Amino acid sequence: MKDKPPPTTRTWPSTVWAALRGIRSAGPEERRAAVDELVRLYFKPVRRFFQQVLGIRGPRLDDVTQEFFTRFLEKDFLKNLPYEKSFRGFLKLACRRHYLNWCDAERAARARSGDLARLHNRDGSPIDVAIPASRFDSMVDEELRRWYLDDAIERTRNELVRRGKELCFLVFEARCARDGSEIPDYASLSRRFGIAVFDVCNYLTAARKVFRAALQAVAIERSETPEEDLRELGLHRHLS
């Protein structure tokens, strides 16, 4: 009998949305605490996204990413919050606005310094011609897809290790082949870990059950429509 995933009832709290929806009416300390929580949760995927689109690294990349979150306090990024159903949609809007502002500031700085060389995006297109919204959205989704999976896998590891089933997780992680290598078959995993093929099958079944619950938990925390978010990110296939 196939394991059923936990229900996605909206009586479960959405930590990201609770923080976001409280920012606009909160006092300075509460606003700072909410933004600090957003930075803790989203700094890595947002930083990786700006690295991809702008082609910058190191301290400069950290500055651009930190400035993005600072603008939650100082600018009007939150005015469209009531119209978005998920932080993913909201994040796309905010990232694109920050990207365009960064491009404008970079062009102005170069003009003041007399540097007339044309500025380009990471993909080689000139910044004078902004990345199309559809392409921009897909780039944000690409980073969030990777981040959803990484987070769900990490939660799976923590839960299985907590249960004393670290080998179960190691078999599951090897089968994921996140390094881009070829997905190993059950016989290969059997030889690698010194266990029977039957055990490989059982370990993977147990780990996938934990992983499905973890992936749903990630989506529920970050969206009012978690199933829709997973479907649009192409992650719903992991729930079957």
Task: Dump pLDDT digits (tens) for 32-48.
Answer: 777 777 777 778 888 88
Lowest mean pLDDT among 22-36, 119-133, 171-185, 196-210: 119-133
SS3 call for 211: helix
Task: Dump pLDDT digits (tens) for 43-71.
Answer: 888 888 888 887 788 888 888 888 888 77
The residue ranges of every structural domain in the chain are 15-239
Q: What is the mean pLDDT of residues 199-226?
A: 91
Q: What is the pLDDT, as a whole number, of residue 33?
A: 75
Higher pLDDT, 74 or 111: 111
Residue 12: what residue type? W
Q: What is the mean pLDDT of residues 94-115?
A: 78
Q: What is the pLDDT, as a whole number, of residue 185?
A: 95
pTM: 0.70
Lowest mean pLDDT among 22-36, 122-136, 161-175, 215-229: 122-136
Return the exposure string of 58-97: e unless at least 16 CB atoms fall within 10 Å of the residue's CB, then b. Answer: eeebeebbeebbebbeeeebbeebeebebbbbbbbbbbbb
- How far from each other are the two terminal CA atoms of the chain, in whole angstroms? 12
Question: By percentage, how much of the chain surpasses pLDDT 90?
Answer: 28
Question: DSSP letters along 132-184, please?
Answer: PHHHHHHHHHHHHHHHHHHHHHHHHHHHHHHTT-HHHHHHHHHHH-TTSPPPP
